[in-house]
Amino acid sequence: MSSAWGYELPVILGLYLLAIMYIGYYSYKKRKGVTAHDFFLASRLLGYIVLGVGLFATIASGNTFVGYSGKAYRAGLFFMVAPAFYVSILVGLLLVAPRLIPLASKKGYISPGDFFQDRFKSRALTLILVLTMFWATFVQFFEQSIAMGYIGNVASGGYLPYSISAAIFMAVVIFVMLVGGFRGTALANFVMGAVMIAGMIGFMVVILPTLGGAGALAKVAQTLPSKVAPPTGIKLTTWFSTLLLVLFGILCYFQIAMYLMAAKDFGTWRKTYWYTPAIYVMVPTLFVIGGIIGLAIFPGLSTLQSDKIVPMLLAKAASISPLGYGFSELLLIAVVSATLSTAAAVIFSLGMVLARDIYTKYINPRADEKRVIWVSKGIMVALAILGYIIVMTPHFTLWRWVELKFEIGMQAVPALLLGLYVPWANKKGIGAGLVTGVILAIALNALGYPKIMGWHSGVLCFFLNFVIAIIVSYATRRKEEIEEAKRLMSIVSEGS
Amino acid sequence: MRTSIKLIIITIIYLIFATPWYFSFKTNWPLVLGIPLWAFLMIFIILGLGYLIAYIAHTIKPEEVKAE
Using CB atoms, pick whichever of B7, B38, B54 lies closest to residue A277: B54
Angle at A189 between CA A61 and CA A31, to 5 degrees: 145
Tell me the per-residue pLDDT of A258-300, one tens digit each, with 9 for 90 and over. 999 999 999 999 999 999 999 999 999 999 999 999 999 999 9
pLDDT value, residue A358? 92
Query: Does B28 contact A270 at a Cβ distance shorter than 8 Å?
Result: no
pLDDT at A422 over 90: yes
User: Within an 8 Å CB–CB cutoff, is residue A83 touching chain B?
Assistant: yes
Cβ separation of B67 and A490 shorter than 8 Å? yes
Nearest-Cα residue of chain A relative to residue B60:
A98
For chain A positions 334-363, those within 8 Å of chain B (CB to CB) are none
Lowest-pLDDT range of A92-96, A207-211, A304-308, B25-29: B25-29
pLDDT of residue B67: 44
Record: contact A421-B68, CB cut-off 8 A? yes
Q: For residue A99, what pLDDT band results from cuts at 50, 70 and 90?
A: very high
The C-alpha of B13 sits at a distance from chain A's nearest C-alpha, in angstroms, of 11
Mean pLDDT lowest among A54-63, A163-172, A455-464: A163-172
| Distance from chain centroid for Cα B5 | 17
A492 contact residues in B (CB cutoff 8 A):
65-67
Residue percentage of chain A with pLDDT more than 90: 67
Q: Give B40's contacts in chain A (Cβ within 8 Å).
A: none
Interface membership of A223 toward B (CB under 8 Å): no
**Is A496's pLDDT higher than 60?**
no
Q: What pLDDT is stored for residue A278 in this prediction?
A: 97
A83 with B54: Cβ contact below 8 A: no
pLDDT at A9 over 70: yes
Q: Which of residues 377-396 of A touch B (CB under 8 A)?
A: none
Q: Is B33 on the interface with A (CB under 8 A)?
A: yes
Average pLDDT, chain A: 90
**Scanning every residue of chain B, which has its alpha carbon at the shortest distance from the alpha carbon of A420?**
B67
Contact yes or no for A217 and B33 at CB 8 A: yes
- CA-based nearest residue in chain A for residue B19: A240
Give B-chain residues touching A240 at CB under 8 angstroms.
Answer: 15, 19, 21
Give the model confidence (pLDDT) of A344-389 as tens digits: 999 899 999 999 899 998 999 999 888 999 999 999 998 888 877 7
Residue to test with chain B: of A56, A78, A93, A94, most B Cβ within 10 A: A94
Q: What local confidence, expressed as pLDDT, does residue A171 receive?
A: 87
The rounded mean pLDDT for chain B is 87
* For residue B68, pLDDT beyond 80: no
Greater confidence (A9 vs A72) lies with A72
Best of A48, A51, A86, A87 to mutate (most B CBs within 10 Å, chain B)? A87
Mean pLDDT computed over A241-264? 94
A-B CB pairs within 8 A amount to: 152
Report pLDDT digits (tens) over A218-232.
999 999 999 999 998
What would the pLDDT profile of B30-48 be if each residue is shown by its tens digit? 889 999 999 999 999 999 9
Name which residue leads in pLDDT, A401 or A182.
A182
B6–chain A Cβ distance below 8 A for any pair: no
**Measured between beta carbons, which residues in chain A are less than 8 angstroms from residue B6?**
none
Q: Could you tell me if A37 and A177 are in contact, meaning their C-beta atoms sit under 8 angstroms apart? A: no
Burial of A390 (0-12, 13-18, 19+ CB in 10 A): middle
Tell whether A102 lies on the interface with B, counting CB pairs under 8 A.
Answer: yes
Least confident of A42-46, A197-201, A315-319, A412-416: A42-46
Is A163 or A54 the better-scoring residue by pLDDT?
A54
Question: Taking CB atoms and an 8 Å cutoff, what residues of chain B touch A495?
Answer: 62-63
> With 80 as the cut, is the pLDDT of residue A465 above it?
yes
A80 closest CB neighbour out of B39, B51, B57:
B39
- Please indicate if any CB of chain A lies within 8 Å of the CB of B12: no
pLDDT > 80? residue A303: yes
**ipTM for the whole complex:** 0.93
**pTM for the complete prediction?**
0.93
To the nearest whole Å, the CA of B33 is away from the closest chain A CA by 5
